[in-house]
């Protein structure tokens, strides 16, 4: 966990890619879950944020 946070602080690709992936996955789950309309309403923002972040951080150094 410490390594992950260090990676975020030092702008390492793997840590930021992991964060972006988690956001995308969370966004997709929020989009398709049958439990709360609020989650559905915010799903696109979360997915979009994750996708844009993924595109940017894939250019960070390893």
Partner 1 sequence: MLKSSVDRIAEATPHAIARRMHGLSDRALAWLFVAPSIVLLLAVNIFPLIWTIRLSFTNFRVNRPNAEVDFVGLKNYASILSDRDIWLTMQATAHFLIWTIVLQVLIGFSLAYLINKKFRGNDLWTTIIVLPMMLSPAVVGNFWTFLYQPQIGLFNYAVGFLTGADPSSFSMIGDVKLAPWAIIIVDTWMWTPFVMLICLAGLRSIPGSIYEAAECDRASKWRQFWTITIPLVLPFLMLAVLFRGIENFKMFDLVVQLTGGGPGSITELTSINLKREAFEKWRTGYASAYAVILFVTVFGLASIYVKALNKVKQR
Indicate the Cα dihedral angle 59, 50, 21, 41, nearest 10°.
Answer: -170
Of 21, 56, 59, 61, the residue at the interface with partner 1 (CB under 8 A) is 21
**In the complex, minimum distance from the CB of residue 3 to partner 1, in angstroms, rounded to a whole number:** 17
Of 4, 19, 31, 60, the residue at the interface with partner 1 (CB under 8 A) is 31
Asked if residue 48 binds partner 1 (CB under 8 A), the reply is: yes
What H or E segment, with its residue span, contains residue 42? helix 37-57
Q: Measured from the CB atom, is 6 or 33 closer to partner 1?
A: 33
Which among 19, 10, 29 is positioned nearest to 50, based on CA atoms? 19
């Amino acid at each position: 966990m410490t390594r992950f946070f260090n990676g975020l602080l030092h702008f390492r690709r793997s840590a930021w890619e992991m964060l972006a992936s988690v956001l995308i996955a969370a966004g997709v789950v929020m989009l398709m879950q049958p439990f709360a309309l609020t989650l559905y309403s915010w799903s696109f923002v979360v997915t979009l944020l994750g996708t844009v972040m993924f595109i940017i951080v894939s250019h960070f150094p390893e």
